Structure 1
Amino acid sequence: QATKLLHRLYLRQAAAKPLGEMDPDESAELLSDLDREEAIKILARMDPDDAVDLLEELPRETQKEILSNVDSKEAKVISDLLTYPSDSAGGLMSPEVVALSLDMSVQQAIDVLRQRAEEAETIYFAYAVDDQHHLQGVLSLRDIALAQPETRLSSLVEIDVISVPVEADAEEVALLFDKYNFYALPVIDQQVKLLGIITIDDVIDVMREEATEDIYGMASVPMNESVDTSWFSSLRMRLPWLYVRLATAILAALVVATFEQTIAKVAALAVLMGVIAGQGGSTGMQTITII
């Protein structure tokens, strides 16, 4: 049913957007069920960062086949993004960023924003660069829109711009967004050249994955397990942790058995065993939650 719906969206040239909003593994599964020609055309209409997330879920041979049939310029952009680890700033960024020269007037900047509006990841923020594409500052759409047409961007730019290196860990990027309430963040290389932009929608996915990983870890559940996982696979993945828990439980039982005679003499100690175990478990859970 989902494949039929995607096919109808493809006929209306509207399939790229919903695929980009879905989980990459689900998008890849749907794309694999389509005709290869349809899949290539849909991928070509997707934002580069979304296309990369989807391609990473496909076999390497399928990636090469699809990219060989995509426009060469688009294929080059996607191939470059595929070289970055998925859990890095490079893996999160979109290269579709608006870069402006400080020599431009406000009117010239507005003309560029109008031209790039459809393909750019966002136009709410633009970045000032020099002739070598080195990052020099950030410009907000609000400041540009409110300024006089003849005003130079050099008088509007904010030079104290926070950026992230392309190799930065995705979790570090998420912490920056959380700390400074960013909407977007520029990505640079070692020469401080502007490579792309990370927006909050991509970071929210990272935050959700990190939170899910933490919760799964607290319960000793493998990250690749879900409600759709077969009972046999769930059993196979959970058994190692269950064996560890069983070993610690047996160890606790042996400690209790060591003091069996003392417990037999003082019956109140038997009552306190449950209280101590419960309090210990609650304290441990509170500590894990805070950490």
Structure 2
Amino acid sequence: MSAVFYKQWFKPVNETRTPNKNAEHIRYIGTRPGAIKNEGEKHGLFGNLYDSDTLEVKHKIKDVMNIVKKKSEEGKNIFRSVISFSPENAAIKVGEPITKEAWQELIKQQIRIIAEGNNIKMSDFKWVAAAHNTPSHPHVHIVFWDERQEIRKNWVNPKVPDKIRGKLVKNIFEDELKEYYEKRDEKKYLLRDITNEMTGEFEAYLDKMSKREYSTLTDAEFFSDKPDSQFCKYLAQRLFEIRKEIPKGSLKFEYLKPDVKDKLISLVRE
């Protein structure tokens, strides 16, 4: 499962019912069961609608619905998006129990990624959100638009939300990613050191051996029985078939094509 789930979409701008649907979506995210409500309010909306210095939305939900409906009627794309975590990751990144303030702080830190991913200047980026404390997948809905948008969009490249999700993962789990890569690289280098050490010892061992001892080693210890001639012929045939697929030049394994590497690995294991 992904560390962060992100998706975004919008209703067709040219449909007559879209403004009303966008307004109703605000009611849905702000008041549905599980929405973390604002103190003294019947909704849980927060965002950058009125004053960029605070994320508080103290207006009635109908006021926010009217703003979204009006912007939609002007031909602006009203994007709907969701950021979601597994319960385990939510506990790490948003806290346990999850609070509205924790969600606000996280979205405040990451909202620029969504704006930049959609090529919207922060000065023109307006958004409203509501967090839902759903046990199986705690999430936050974010509705946003470009205040200065003049050309209607009928399609957005699917790569846009994918890139946004990737950047959200890097930002939100920055410390965990660093720790993971450090541990992974440490193991990689440790394995390489052990291999080099073992290889060095083995080579030193061979250097001290006489030809007779070396012959005995290869005949007795490596092959308890004489290798089957038919099997050797089969392996040689396999090897030369693979050789035909390797361009002239360096035969270093790291430079080979992935499919050729797979064939060689399979042959070595066999």
Taking structure 2 as the reference length, the TM-score comes to 0.21
TM-score (norm 1): 0.20
Task: Give the greater-gyration-radius structure (CA).
Answer: 2
Higher relative contact order (CA closer than 8 Å, sequence separation 6+): 2
